[in-house]
Amino acid sequence: MKTFRDLWQIARKDLIEFTRDRLRLVTFFIMPMFMMIMVGFIFPNQNSLKNTSIGIADEDNGTVSKALVSAIQDMKINNNQVFTVTNYNSTDKIKDAIKSQKISGGIDIPAEFSTAISNNIQANVTIVQDQSNPQISQMVDQILANVVSGFGSQVGVQKVDQILVTKTGVGTPTALTAQAQAIIAPITSTIEGIIPGNPNYFEFVAPGIMAMIVMTAVLTGLAASVSREKEQGTLDGILISPINRLSIILGKSLAQAIRGLVQGAIVLILAFLLFGVTVHGSILLVILLLLLGIFSFIGLGILVSTIASEQETATQLLFMFQFPMLFLSGVFFPIALMPQAMQIISKVIPLTYAITALRQVMVLGAGIGAVKSEIFILLVFGVVTLAISVPVFRRVITK
């Protein structure tokens, strides 16, 4: 019982000391807000394409080509106009406009386009990419290709309608539309998700940002707290007090865990309010996973604070760990798409398992049974690093 009272006193001391620095307190709240807002509004997805400038060169200027241009101009996603269209005379003019960054891509409809379709000859259009911006280009190209494909299917259905009416001598060009559609597309598919709705890219990113901010706050705060007290000499005063050495480090860890959870709550609230993120699983399980993630990093934070004699050294060591984790743990980019060597490295980073489990719970509504392997791995990471770091800490501070 005395150990628990002592560790709480240490945690309370660190939290009170933290709140006394007003600038540090302000940045504590601003940092997660900045991260969420920056990532949420900067990283593009298909839903964020609004009034994107593209060029169209209608060299045919026929009935069918004009209908295709109209379909592109009228394209909307979530009631937002997708494209702002500028007309050009040729593919070369579109390329020149892309080079000067006036447009983000384009499409060229060749001469005799309408004639070819009328004569049952397959026609081709050219989609011109803006290769300087792969993310936007990929989305623009995909949408344009879908519009062209959909428009082509409609034209095909109309032509098959006419053929069927001619051969049977009954009905009208629209009476046999269902049969024509079955000939054009004999097999269809339906996409059905585990949860309702269409999760966007930000719902993939939000759990990763939350885990990263919480783990970084704990890791940085713990190392900085110990190394700062060593620099200031206040750690010696704590060591000579009748407090167990384990209570000291556990108390400091508790203080950082509380700070980390507060920042995690800020991230989650912003995700709800600004970006419509929905937690489909249990909130309590999300909190448990965050606590386990914190636990897995505490040992590393203790070890860094023990090794580093100065706060600046601790910061440099932590940056060496945090920078690779940002890219290799799957915060912004799926691990499955990384090179094999990078995937292997990601498997030894505890943040990877915390993010994976959070995504399963928040996005897919998974229960504790679905994330039990990640929970076990986080526990193992925490136990192993604590088993190494606590004895090292005790040895160093008693010298």
- Would you state the structure tokens that stand for residue 279, as one six-digit string? 């937690």
Mean pLDDT over 374-394 rounds to 86
- Are 272 and 191 contacting, i.e. CB atoms less than 8 angstroms apart? no
pLDDT(308) > 80: no
- Total-model pTM: 0.72
pLDDT top residue among 227 and 355: 355
pLDDT(25) > 90: no
**Rounded to an integer, what distance in angstroms lies between the CA atom of residue 115 and that of residue 110?**
11
Handedness of CA 345, 348, 349, 353 (dihedral sign): positive
DSSP secondary structure, 285-315, as one string: HHHHHHHHHHHHHHHHHHHHHHH-SSHHHHH
**Rounded to an integer, what distance in angstroms lies between the CA atom of residue 244 and that of residue 5?**
11
pLDDT at 186: 67
H-run or E-run covering 349: none
pLDDT at 235: 64
pLDDT at 169: 56
pLDDT(56) > 90: yes
CA distances from 252 to 214, 218, 229, 248 (A): 15, 10, 11, 6
pLDDT classification of 44: cutoffs 50, 70, 90: low
Mean pLDDT over 123-142 rounds to 83
Identify the bridge partners of residue 108 per DSSP, sorted by sequence position: 57, 126
Mean of the per-residue pLDDT values of the chain: 79
Mean pLDDT over 28-42 rounds to 73
Domain(s) of CATH 3.40.1710: residues in the chain: 46-184
pLDDT at 127: 92
pLDDT(170) > 60: no
Determine whether domain 46-184 maps to CATH 3.40.1000: no
pLDDT at 42: 61
Dihedral (C-alpha) 106, 75, 47, 199: value to the nearest 10 degrees?
Answer: -120
pLDDT at 353: 92
